[in-house]
Chains A and B, each alone.
Chain A
Amino acid sequence: MSPEARKAFLTIAAVCVVAALGWASLFDSLPPAEFSLQSGSDVKTLDPARATGNIEGRILFEIFEGLLKKMPEGDPDPVNGLQAMTPQPGMAESYEVSNDNRRYTFKLRDGVRWTDGTPVTSYDFAWSWQRVLHPATASEYAFHLHAIPFAKAYNEGVVEVGDRVEVELWDRPGETPTGRGTHQNFPRGTILYGTLREIRKPPEPTAEQKKANPDAESEWTEQWLYVVDVAKLDQDGQVDWDGPTERQTFSANLQSPLADETTQRSHGVLVAFDKLGGLETPDPRTLIVNLTDPIPYFPNLVAFYTLFPVHRPTVEKYGSPMFTKAENIVTNGPFKLQLRRLRDRVRLVKNEDYYDADKVSLKSVDFLSMEGENTALNMYETGQLDWVTMPPETVREVLKDREDFYTAPQLSVYFYRLNVARPPLDNVLVRRAIAMAIDRVEIVEEVTKTGQIPATTIVPPGFAGYESAKGFEPNVARARELLAEAGYPGGRGIPRLTILYNTSEGHRSIAEVVQQQLQNNLNIAVELQNMEWGSFLDKVQQTDYQVARAGWIADYPDPNTFLDMWVTGGPQNNTNWSNAEFDKLIAEAARETDPQERMKILQRAEQIWVDELPAIPMYFYTSINIVKPYVRGFAPTAQDVHPLQLLSIDPSRR
């Protein structure tokens, strides 16, 4: 390389460095929002149908609004300061319930609008709920709607001969008759309605074929041929079920040996949920919901984000998930989405068109993504943050006594799953001995430290009308006796136990204390094994563990959410535990119409659980928040819900 070239090269390098520095100094700095809060890790999605977590929920509750919304009822409890939150009119100005609790009539407010100015109608709700239920939406909380007739069958894609069905032809936007399907299930392809007459199936692949080709099963189901008597629609779009029909055949795979040239390609055949009267929309302001089971907590579900409406034109125009982008999304809540930056923030601004906008005080809110607990506390202490939702464990004791610290019991439980198929835990005496030898008071007072309640049952206190089963009595002496009875006097001969937990400071501390307690009290040697989240879940779901840490938060405010997970083979069971009597009681409770009687049945089921102990309950969680004293309107609540529209800032104290 010639000296000139070298010189030129050096000059270029110098220019590059200066340019880079210049570029790096250009920040698009954003003025801070009026109110900032800690939002944990990034939100997974802003699609209410797909969202599952607390963090997502917190934002969705602000930008969307359901027929009902959780708002404070009455004053805070004078004893513990808890504010009761109940479902109250949101998009609906009122609702009526039939005497048998099976028919809800919601009346929408007049003049409620989306952020694009179009009115929010009952059709939006019916459409959004159907979208939640559509199998391709893959909504994890779709079961919230399963009490509506045909909703479960629609959601799970179950059809039987004789059912009134809908057939979605293979003509969604962007699809060709022979190409691959698009997963944009809304807008939908052409929908035909009719009565299913026959399902023709080619020979089922043998077990060996299925083993050799994991796709064999789904390839086979794609070849099914559906014979449908397609009905006509009248002018109003109603299906004339009993009128003249035309027999047509449909299959997802036209190469199916059963298909002929008249067979049409379709996405599948589902029960015609929207035409079978589960949801009625007599006019744009009325939504009637019919239920098969009189579930007492239905209003709570309506106030939950899964049942919030989404804006149909936007979803159909941009598709999912593009409709959730800040520049596309259309919402109906007290706030609207202005900006969303990964690992940085979600900025909401006040929605001036919200019907209750006069009562919303905050102008802009930042949900700051941050995973470091100390980081959040540091930002709070230096005034960059007004609300910390996850204070660090080490200093909780110090924080506990401050006036800006709020704690409230939560409907959730921390427990250790026991794999009852593996010795020695297959012996109920051993399970009980271990459960009794753990000192929960020590754990909640010295480890978790923020008022958690020691748990000896699985259902947390706080469900109206439910009295928990009688828990076991922690008692070390009795535990030793039980262990001796089980054939391990003094802990001799008992194999090592391994506690599996997902990597986290908090879980490790608890596991270490349990390790010491079992060693001290029962001479049981315990090994700890941590794993990162993905592997941990895999192990638990394969029930390939002895003892595994777990937590459960109420999906809806009813004890059933803590109990029906333990039924034989249930997807959330994961302990190999099975009890016929328990299963029977849970099924009975679902059918029971008398609320009081139902609670009694559930209590009996819980008693069986406590006697059998497929898991060791540890404690019931508390929610912890630190909020600046100048924030007005913040009150601890049992579900840890704090609508931002209730909050305001007292400038004199800031």
Chain B
Amino acid sequence: MSTEPRTLPADTAPPEPSPALSELAAQEQQLTLDRLLEESRQIRGTSLWSDAWRRLKRRRTAMISMVGLVVLVLLAVLTPLLPLQSPIDKDLKYRRLLPPELTPVTMGSREGLDFAEQSLVAELKRFNAEIAELQQQRNATTDSAERKRIDEIIAGRTKVEHPFNQLWNQLGPVSWTMCQMRVAMFGDYAIPSLFGTDKLGRDLLSRVFWGARVSLIVGVVATLVSLVIGVSYGAIAGYVGGWVDAVMMRIVDILYSIPFIFVVIFLITFLGEDSVKAWLQARGIEQITIFYFVIGAIYWLTMSRVVRGQVLSLRHEQFIEAARTIGASPLRIVFRHLVPNVLGVVIVYLTLTIPAVMLFEAFLSFLGLGVAPPDVSWGQLLNDGVEALSSVKLFWWVVVFPGAALAATLFALNFLGDGVRDALDPKMKNRD
């Protein structure tokens, strides 16, 4: 993907050797040419990206940030595997608003769960034994109707009565398997409440982890949506210019002023209609997907402005003119030549959009669109946390840990963003 103005455009042919030169000279020429071609091939090999990557690797903060982010994403993905406490089990009686502590917790020990031997492992064993017994009954009978009946009971019980349902909320098949592996690996052990507990007696550490899954997906998907819309829109407006640009930008102006809150409420109602629900379900679209798109669709406006401004200043640069002379199509110019050149600005703006989106998610949850309890996100954890920041009694851990998680992620994103921006910027090439 070579798109930088510094690299040779792929469609230019090598110059023809002159016929007026002597044989020897021609041979020498040929050699030089070969060498040059060879060289240019090597140059073409170092594209913008590998070049940028090379420079990025030299920035220590950026690399640390990147590693941090990768670890974070991995942890978020693997959360069900970790020996965390249940993110939804509320021990109202004994564990409300506990400060951070180091005493390990046994899974399933809360009285209200009514687990065998007050342990998840024992309960699982008991449950599996019951199912096995049913299975035996099934195998013992020969009556097919009876078999079918028992099969149904087994299926129903595994679905409804499985102890996992008490500790985790609506696990998908992958997470379910991961939870089973977690129990196999760690048994009843769970990491102590290192982050304390919230006002309903849930472990904050595991909520921060489970919340990361939601927040990261929201942040990334919504930002990508806003990126795609905003960059295309802005680049086209800026490149085409004239009245098209004027009209497109006025549309952005208008959209800025449209009260999005009504749009969201309208959407919630619309999506809540039974017919719409059925339509979506038939196509396998979840409400949450639409939710990501809503956020992205709200956040692309500024992005499009930023990109347009950049494109405006770039479109008369020589490399664009060059591309135009060799007959590249406008779309190709916009997406192959212009867009990569505004990436620096876009990336910086992206690092600012992700946190905004994560917090915006909490506001949308307030309106009723977003993750519903008992699932949680960082934004919602923070909202709850701030409620607990009282002058009368300070439950600091409720806000500090989710806040720190969010802040650390954003720090990393910012440093990485700065690094990538600098690495992509040709002018920065020899500055480090």
Contact call A381/B392, Cβ cutoff below 8 A? yes
Q: A490-B157, A520-B113 are in contact. Are A512 and B387 (CB under 8 A)?
A: no
Q: Scan B164-192; emit 1 where CB is below 8 A from any A CB, else 0.
A: 01100010000000000000000000000
Task: Tell yes or no: A531 within 8 A of B by CB.
Answer: yes
Task: Tell yes or no: B276 within 8 A of A by CB.
Answer: no
User: How far, in whole Å, are A374 and B398 apart by their CA atoms in the complex?
Assistant: 15
- Kindly report which residue of chain B lies nearest to residue A539, judged by CB atoms: B272
Q: A519-B165, A523-B161 are in contact. Are A534 and B265 (CB under 8 A)?
A: yes
Task: Tell yes or no: A572 within 8 A of B by CB.
Answer: no
Using Cβ atoms and an 8 Å threshold, which residues of chain A touch B365? Answer: 530
Q: Scan A513-529; emit 1 where CB is below 8 A from any B CB, else 0.
A: 10111011001010111
User: How far, in whole Å, are A268 and B63 apart by their CA atoms in the complex?
Assistant: 80
Q: Given B88, B93, B265, B390, which contacts A394 in the complex, CB threshold below 8 Å?
A: B390
User: How far, in whole Å, are A534 and B268 apart by their CA atoms in the complex?
Assistant: 12
- Kindly report which residue of chain B lies nearest to residue A394, judged by CB atoms: B388
Q: Scan B392-419; emit 1 where CB is below 8 A from any A CB, else 0.
A: 1101000000000000000000000000
Task: Tell yes or no: B71 within 8 A of A by CB.
Answer: no
Q: Which of A364-392 contact B (CB under 8 A)?
A: 373-374, 377-378, 381, 392
Within the complex, the shortest CB–CB distance from B398 to chain A, in Å, comes to 8
The binding surface of chain B is classed by DSSP as loop
Task: Tell yes or no: A328 within 8 A of B by CB.
Answer: no
Counting chain A CB atoms within 10 Å of each CB, the highest count among B89, B113, B199 belongs to B199
Within the complex, the shortest CB–CB distance from A505 to chain B, in Å, comes to 6
Contact call A527/B157, Cβ cutoff below 8 A? no
Contact call A492/B373, Cβ cutoff below 8 A? no
A-B contact pairs, 13 of them (CB 8 A): A392-B387, A393-B387, A394-B387, A442-B93, A491-B161, A503-B367, A503-B368, A516-B112, A517-B112, A523-B165, A527-B372, A531-B367, A532-B265
Contact call B373/A490, Cβ cutoff below 8 A? no
Contact call B200/A513, Cβ cutoff below 8 A? yes
Q: Which residues of B contact A (CB under 8 A)?
A: 88-90, 92-93, 96-97, 112-114, 153, 156-157, 159-161, 165-166, 170, 199-201, 265, 268-269, 365-368, 372-374, 384, 387-393, 395
User: How far, in whole Å, are A497 and B113 apart by their CA atoms in the complex?
Assistant: 20
Contact call A531/B368, Cβ cutoff below 8 A? yes
Q: A492-B160, A516-B89, A523-B160 are in contact. Are A505 and B384 (CB under 8 A)?
A: yes
Q: A442-B92, A513-B90, A520-B112 are in contact. Are A530 and B368 (CB under 8 A)?
A: yes
Contact call B393/A512, Cβ cutoff below 8 A? no
Using Cβ atoms and an 8 Å threshold, which residues of chain B touch A531? Answer: 268, 367-368
User: How far, in whole Å, are A517 and B367 apart by their CA atoms in the complex?
Assistant: 26
- Kindly report which residue of chain B lies nearest to residue A498, judged by CB atoms: B372
Starting from the known contacts A490-B161, A493-B156, A519-B165, 12 additional A-B residue pairs (CB-CB under 8 Å) come to: A374-B391, A395-B393, A442-B92, A446-B201, A492-B160, A512-B90, A516-B88, A520-B114, A523-B165, A532-B366, A535-B265, A535-B269
Within the complex, the shortest CB–CB distance from A490 to chain B, in Å, comes to 6
Q: Given A394, A447, A529, which contacts B395 in the complex, CB threshold below 8 Å?
A: A394
- Kindly report which residue of chain A lies nearest to residue B170, judged by CB atoms: A525
Counting chain B CB atoms within 10 Å of each CB, the highest count among A377, A378, A523 belongs to A523
User: How far, in whole Å, are A399 and B393 apart by their CA atoms in the complex?
Assistant: 9
User: How far, in whole Å, are A14 and B112 apart by their CA atoms in the complex?
Assistant: 68
Using Cβ atoms and an 8 Å threshold, which residues of chain B touch A528? Answer: 372-374
Q: Scan A536-570; emit 1 where CB is below 8 A from any B CB, else 0.
A: 00000000000000000000000000000000000
- Kindly report which residue of chain B lies nearest to residue A492, judged by CB atoms: B156
Using Cβ atoms and an 8 Å threshold, which residues of chain A touch B201? Answer: 446
Task: Tell yes or no: A508 within 8 A of B by CB.
Answer: yes
Number of residue pairs across A and B with beta carbons under 8 Å?
107
Within the complex, the shortest CB–CB distance from B124 to chain A, in Å, comes to 16
Q: A374-B390, A398-B392 are in contact. Are A532 and B165 (CB under 8 A)?
A: no
* Tally of A interface residues using CB under 8 Å: 40
Counting chain B CB atoms within 10 Å of each CB, the highest count among A378, A442, A519, A527 belongs to A519
Using Cβ atoms and an 8 Å threshold, which residues of chain B touch A534? Answer: 265
Task: Tell yes or no: A482 within 8 A of B by CB.
Answer: no
Contact call A446/B368, Cβ cutoff below 8 A? no
Q: Scan A611-649; emit 1 where CB is below 8 A from any B CB, else 0.
A: 000000000000000000000000000000000000000
Within the complex, the shortest CB–CB distance from A134 to chain B, in Å, comes to 34
Contact call A374/B389, Cβ cutoff below 8 A? yes
Within the complex, the shortest CB–CB distance from B140 to chain A, in Å, comes to 21
Task: Tell yes or no: A430 within 8 A of B by CB.
Answer: no
Q: A447-B92, A447-B200, A532-B367 are in contact. Are A398 and B372 (CB under 8 A)?
A: no
Using Cβ atoms and an 8 Å threshold, which residues of chain B touch A519? Answer: 165-166
Using Cβ atoms and an 8 Å threshold, which residues of chain A touch B389? Answer: 374
Using Cβ atoms and an 8 Å threshold, which residues of chain B touch A126? Answer: none
User: How far, in whole Å, are A505 and B365 apart by their CA atoms in the complex?
Assistant: 12
Contact call A520/B166, Cβ cutoff below 8 A? yes
- Kindly report which residue of chain B lies nearest to residue A523, judged by CB atoms: B160
- Kindly report which residue of chain B lies nearest to residue A531, judged by CB atoms: B368
Contact call B160/A490, Cβ cutoff below 8 A? yes
Task: Tell yes or no: A337 within 8 A of B by CB.
Answer: no
Using Cβ atoms and an 8 Å threshold, which residues of chain A touch B153? Answer: 492
User: How far, in whole Å, are A124 and B366 apart by their CA atoms in the complex?
Assistant: 46
Contact call A492/B390, Cβ cutoff below 8 A? no
Contact call A381/B391, Cβ cutoff below 8 A? yes
Using Cβ atoms and an 8 Å threshold, which residues of chain A touch B388? Answer: 394
- Kindly report which residue of chain B lies nearest to residue A442, judged by CB atoms: B92
User: How far, in whole Å, are A38 and B256 apart by their CA atoms in the complex?
Assistant: 36
Using Cβ atoms and an 8 Å threshold, which residues of chain B touch A529? Answer: 368, 372
Task: Tell yes or no: A348 within 8 A of B by CB.
Answer: no
Pick the 4 closest A-B CB pairs, nearest first. A446-B92, A492-B156, A531-B368, A398-B393
Using Cβ atoms and an 8 Å threshold, which residues of chain A touch B268? Answer: 531, 535
Within the complex, the shortest CB–CB distance from B393 to chain A, in Å, comes to 5
User: How far, in whole Å, are A399 and B367 apart by their CA atoms in the complex?
Assistant: 31
Using Cβ atoms and an 8 Å threshold, which residues of chain A touch B387? Answer: 373-374, 392-394, 505
Counting chain B CB atoms within 10 Å of each CB, the highest count among A392, A442, A516, A535 belongs to A516
Task: Tell yes or no: A254 within 8 A of B by CB.
Answer: no
User: How far, in whole Å, are A409 and B368 apart by their CA atoms in the complex?
Assistant: 32
Task: Tell yes or no: A593 within 8 A of B by CB.
Answer: no
Contact call B96/A377, Cβ cutoff below 8 A? no
Contact call B156/A511, Cβ cutoff below 8 A? no
- Kindly report which residue of chain A lies nearest to residue B199, judged by CB atoms: A394
User: How far, in whole Å, are A534 and B388 apart by their CA atoms in the complex?
Assistant: 27
Using Cβ atoms and an 8 Å threshold, which residues of chain A touch B199? Answer: 393-394, 509
User: How far, in whole Å, are A393 and B159 apart by their CA atoms in the complex?
Assistant: 36
User: How far, in whole Å, are A381 and B92 apart by their CA atoms in the complex?
Assistant: 28
